[in-house]
Amino acid sequence: MSKDDNLKNKNNVVNMVLLIWVILTSFIPIGYLLNHSELIIMPDGFQMGERLQNQSYYREAIVFYKEATKLDPNDPKPWIKIGECYECLKNYDKSEEYYYTAVESDPYNTEAWLKLGHVYLLQKSYENSYNCLEVARQIDILDMMLNKENHTSKIYECFGDYYYIAKNDAGLSENYYNLSLSASRTNNSYEKWEYMNQRYHNPDLFINMSENRSEEVLNLENELFKEYLVN
């Protein structure tokens, strides 16, 4: 038997074990598996988690992401993904726990700090949120100096969210959103308006926003949308 045949047999065994394990533990409906056979032939737990997460099967995705963390506990990506799933399930305490684990596994991971800052914002822990965003900004500056991938656009966006929710400052948040758009080189006026509309009217993101916003802030928002509609 050739090496390729041996490898193929090993992969088949892994696939079968994964399938049996999933069915026996009943984490994923059998009907879903039958309609998504691509999951059965994919032995990579992280990729399986991503596919399930993209289909909004968050609890099931968490199972596979946790398996992925066992392969390399120092890889922040699975920890971040688990945090995202819990955030989608509105379990912000668990989300915070896993984002924090991601930060511990890689203290220089900008995305992990941004995610942690975001969930603190949803928890109304505003000081912690701001501190996380500041750490992310400093890491991003270092990454740019080293010609590494940067997250400048996302950082500006997160600061925009922070000032809108935590400080009730639509004007300053607008400035940060515009910086985010500039960093991502978005020049289309309609895309800009769509982006602003999404930031200011996201029910999940702004569920903690004060209902008693000042008339000045509301007027500023209206002027903002009129400007982008005209353009």
Q: What is the pLDDT of residues 11-25, one digit of tens each?
A: 455 455 555 555 444
- Phi and psi at 211, nearest 5°, equal -75, -20
Q: How far apart are CA 146 and CA 223, in angstroms?
A: 40
More confident residue, 25 or 203: 203
205: nearest Cα among 88, 98, 52: 88
Mean pLDDT for the stretch of residues 16-41: 52
Residue 61 has pLDDT above 90, yes or no: yes
User: What global pTM score does this model have?
Assistant: 0.68
Ramachandran sector of residue 188 (left: φ over 0; alpha: ψ -120 to 50; beta: rest): beta
**pLDDT level of residue 147 (50, 70, 90 thresholds):** confident
**pLDDT level of residue 189 (50, 70, 90 thresholds):** low
